[in-house]
A = this chain, B = another copy of it.
Amino acid sequence: MTTRPEVNLAMASATGALRVDRDRLWLSLMELARIGATPKGGVRRLALTDLDRQGRDLVVGWLRDAGATIEIDGAGNIFATRVGRDGAAATVLTGSHIDTQPSGGKFDGNYGVLAGLEVLRTLNDGGIVTQHPVAVAIWTNEEGSRFVPVMGGSGAFTGVYTLEHVREQRDVDGIAFGDALDAIGYAGKAPVGGRALDAYFEAHIEQGPILEREEKIIGVVTGALGLRWYDCVWTGQDAHAGPTPMEARRDALRGASRMVEAINVIALRHAPDGRGTVGVMQVSPSSRNVIPGRVRMTVDMRHPDDGRLAAMDRELREVAEVIARELKLDCDLQQVDHVPASRFDPKCIDAVRTATRALGLPHREMVSGAGHDAIYLARITPTSMIFVPCKDGISHNEIEDARPEHLEAGANVLLHAMLARAIGARSSTDTGMKHD
């Protein structure tokens, strides 16, 4: 790609002082949060429901008003593109999702989309003409609360799943993803995937407590934890809690309970980035005076290093065997999902880091513990993410909260990281940010 130095320098002076509008961003977030608002201040806007349609209609209208061209692909993913000077140049993309958890908050996903909208609005305000097109994506069904798989829209876009696979998934009422998508009028004509992308950035609340605890405003996200999910079933023997001596028992709940502690030990052995969680435990027969003969539990283990995650997997299997032998139980441990660790693109990470420094924002580098559309995008284009703090690290909850000035800061970093790619320069010294 060729750039014209004289244009870059002129543009740099025009963009260096560019800032998003905090109030406009906040008001857009609050207006979108009215669609599916819950009494406790959260949002319930499940993928491909009529509420999702209302949310899409609102945001698409805003994006159109910002001068963007709207395209919708066969998975319902929406692309709002602001043209650049070079009609052949690859797009600098940002985005996230506007579907929520059943008891979700106002910021998870929504912030990434509306920060992208705010970037377009700010470029308009500044009269900025970029070399590359700049676009905002709204990915379908990131949460996976109504339809599995999670991140289905970006998964289809990046070739992780076929469109057919995604369309045929059914919700608990038996309604197919494809039928629900058709019903809300968002099954578009654009092909799924195949777009020429220059880079992808995604702004998101952290969904963890690290930034808040360390009083940082920006997380420069260098990658995402690898993840292994397991289903584990412990089988012993139901027996009456009174007449059965302790040494004669085969108590499945004791196996499961020891496993919970062992998983904690494994995660700590791989500190500081190892994670181990048991989120589900179902005890049967679940009677106050019956020794449980069967316990089903889930295991979630994560680590940013695939080798360490593989070691955690081995340790988990070993400890399951030891516990089963000691307690005379059967343990059926099955891995049901495995997502390798992601390492984001060094140049995209650098674009985020440089913008953050230029803006003078307290920051740290971090890996994403949660899944995001960016993790799939990273498979096909240079990618990075920008995290901002959320209150008490809480998300997937109606009390999810974030501060306007932090959301503003993240959107400014997004703006300048995208500009660093879009303006036609490839070096941070060309963006004008060094003067800030």
Q: In chain B, what residue has the closest Cβ to A287?
A: B279
Stretch in A32-40, A92-100, A232-240, A405-413 touching the partner: A232-240
B288 touches A245 (CB 8 A): no
Q: Give a binary string over A386-404; 1 marks a CB under 8 Å from any B CB, 0 the rest.
A: 0000001111110000000
Q: Closest CB of chain B to A387's CB: distance in Å?
A: 9
Given A240-B208, A257-B257, A291–B271 Cβ distance below 8 Å?
no
Can you list 6 residue pairs at the A/B interface with Cβ under 8 Å?
A208-B240, A210-B245, A242-B302, A254-B260, A277-B289, A280-B286
Task: Answer whether residue A10 sits at the interface, using C-beta atoms and an 8 A cutoff.
Answer: no
Q: In chain B, what residue has the closest Cβ to A259?
A: B257
Q: How far is the CA of A242 from the CA of B277 in the complex (A)?
A: 9
Task: Answer whether residue A14 sits at the interface, using C-beta atoms and an 8 A cutoff.
Answer: no
* Residues of chain B within 8 A of A240, CB atoms compared: 207-208, 369-370, 393, 395-396
- Number of copies of this kind of chain in the complex: 2
Given A239-B394, A280-B286, A287-B279, A246–B261 Cβ distance below 8 Å?
no
Task: Answer whether residue A258 sits at the interface, using C-beta atoms and an 8 A cutoff.
Answer: yes
Interface centre among A251, A267, A279 (most CB of B within 10 A): A279
Q: How far is the CA of A227 from the CA of B240 in the complex (A)?
A: 13
B279 touches A370 (CB 8 A): no
Given A244-B369, A290-B396, A394-B237, A278–B298 Cβ distance below 8 Å?
no
* Residues of chain B within 8 A of A245, CB atoms compared: 208-210, 272, 275
Given A240-B395, A279-B287, A246–B260 Cβ distance below 8 Å?
no
Q: How far is the CA of A397 from the CA of B393 in the complex (A)?
A: 46
B288 touches A243 (CB 8 A): no
B283 touches A279 (CB 8 A): yes
Q: How far is the CA of A296 from the CA of B396 in the complex (A)?
A: 21
Task: Answer whether residue A88 sits at the interface, using C-beta atoms and an 8 A cutoff.
Answer: no
* Residues of chain B within 8 A of A229, CB atoms compared: 288
B227 touches A275 (CB 8 A): no
Task: Answer whether residue A206 sits at the interface, using C-beta atoms and an 8 A cutoff.
Answer: yes
* Residues of chain B within 8 A of A237, CB atoms compared: 392, 394
Of B225, B227, B243, B287, which is within 8 A of A280 by CB? B287
Q: In chain B, what residue has the closest Cβ to A395?
A: B240
Q: How far is the CA of A384 from the CA of B386 in the complex (A)?
A: 74
B275 touches A279 (CB 8 A): no
A207 touches B288 (CB 8 A): no
Task: Answer whether residue A241 sits at the interface, using C-beta atoms and an 8 A cutoff.
Answer: yes
